[in-house]
Amino acid sequence: MKKGKLINSEISYVISKMGHTDMLTICDSGLPIPQNTKRIDLALKKGIPSFLDTLDTVLEELQVEEIIIASQMEEVSPELYEEMLKRFNDIKIVKVEHEEFKNITKDSMAVVRTGEFTPYANVILKSGVVF
C-alpha cells in the first residue's frame, strides 16, 4: 500500500495497485526479467540509479512485511547485504537459491531495473498492510 513521496509514475502506479502479499522486485542491471512481467527500467549507466537509492525511495511508499533475497548475496556481496539488512529490522527475510529467486520474479507485479553492478543486488518486496 502506498505511503508517500515517490515521483516515478510507473512505480507509483504499481505500488498503488498492490494489495497484501503482492510482490515488487528491485534488481541490478543483470537480472533476467521474465518476458510477461512488467519491466520498469531505470538503468542509465553503471551505478545510476543505485540499488540502495532505488530501494530507499520505494520503501518511502510501500509497506513491506517480508523480503526475498538470493542466499548468495550474503557471501558474494556482504557489504551490500549488511546495508540492505539495516532497512529491514522487523521484517521476515526469506533466502532462496538464485535460480529460485529468478523464478519467483515471474509472480511480481513489476520488476524495477536499476543501474547497479553489484552481484546479487536483488530483492523481492512482499507488500504488507498499513493498518
Indicate yes or no: pTM above 0.85.
yes
Whether residue 20 lies in the annotated active site: yes
Residues annotated in the binding site for substrate, as ranges? 28, 98, 120-122
Task: Please name the residues in contact with 80: beta carbons below 8 A apart, sequence gap of 6 or more.
Answer: 51, 52, 73, 118, 120, 121
Residue 1 has pLDDT above 70, yes or no: no
Q: Is 100 helix (H, G, I), strand (E, B) or coil?
A: helix
Q: What is the mean pLDDT of residues 79-103?
A: 96
Domains of the chain: 9-127 (3.40.1650.10)
Residue 3 has pLDDT above 90, yes or no: no
Residues annotated in the binding site, as ranges? 28, 98, 120-122
Give the torsion through C-alpha atoms of 47, 41, 95, 75, to 10 deg: -20
Residue 2 has pLDDT above 50, yes or no: no
Which residues, in sequence order, are bridge partners of residue 93? 67
